[in-house]
Amino acid sequence: MQFKRAVHDCPVCATLTPGHRCTRFRHCGHVFCNSCVAAAFRALLEADRPDRLGCLQCSGEEQPPAEFSRYEQSLLKLSLKRMSDVQTCPRCSVSVITEDRRSSCLGQCAHCYYAFCIQCREPYHGENCKGPIEVVRAAAAAAAAAAAAANEAAQQDRREGGLQRALAGLNQEYAIQDASLEVLDFQVDDAKSCPACFAYI
């Protein structure tokens, strides 16, 4: 926190820069402004010298070996992941150079001799592989069909249940009307009409 609040002198560009715009290398403590570090790293990467990345004053050689080797390994993994013709063996995790995916889906590890399909990463099963995308699409289509069938069955049940409920409601309504007619018949038979308005009372 104190580092970010302080102002530091960059030895490369000789400017005073706030700490939140500076980089301090942990192993040596040297401080440089972010723009100088970025420019130096960009130049080293363009010169194909990633082994020299590090402190600009110590020239990167004084980096602790464990940290640099970890950086180098992660850089290698990232580079291999970006290559379309390199796969990782599903059995031993060693990088395997494969042929073009359009011509063959065979991958064979030189370390453990495991032959695998580069599309589905299962043991090699021939050239007619439904890769993971096709398998997922087929499973999704099957699930959608099952859901549609279940939805149709539920709608059919609702329709049939709705008809049953409607019939039951009508029957109940007719029963109420019949009962009210019986009450009215009873009232008419036993009641007398009002001489003024002729309503039954």
Among residues 129, 151, 166, which one ends one of the domains? 129
pLDDT category at 139 given cuts 50, 70, 90 is: low
Q: Which of 72, 104, 111, 112 is nearest to 85 (CA)?
A: 104
pLDDT category at 71 given cuts 50, 70, 90 is: confident
Listing DSSP states for the chain in one string gives -HHHHSEEE-TTT--EEEGGGEEE-TTT--EEEHHHHHHHHHHHHHTT-GGG-S-TTTTTTTS-HHHHHHHHHHHHHHHHHH-TTEEE-TTT--EEE---TTT--EEE-TTT--EEETTT-SBP--S----HHHHHHHHHHHHHHHHHHHHHHHHHHHHHHHHHHHHHHHHHHHHHHHHHHHHHHHHHHH--B-TTT--B-
pLDDT of residue 141: 74
* Beta-ladder partners of 16: 9
pLDDT of residue 33: 92
Verify that 1 and 74 share a domain, yes or no. yes
Verify that 38 and 15 share a domain, yes or no. yes
**Section 95-116 average pLDDT:** 79
pLDDT category at 148 given cuts 50, 70, 90 is: confident
Verify that 64 and 53 share a domain, yes or no. yes
Domains in the chain, number: 3
pLDDT higher at 43 or 182:
43
Verify that 164 and 110 share a domain, yes or no. no
pLDDT higher at 61 or 114:
114
pLDDT higher at 36 or 130:
36
Verify that 55 and 88 share a domain, yes or no. no
CB 120 within 8 A of CB 132: yes
> Per the structure block, which two tokens stand in for 49?
């010298």
How much is the pTM?
Answer: 0.35
Residue-range definition of the domain harbouring residue 29: 1-80
**Section 144-169 average pLDDT:** 72
Average pLDDT, the chain: 75
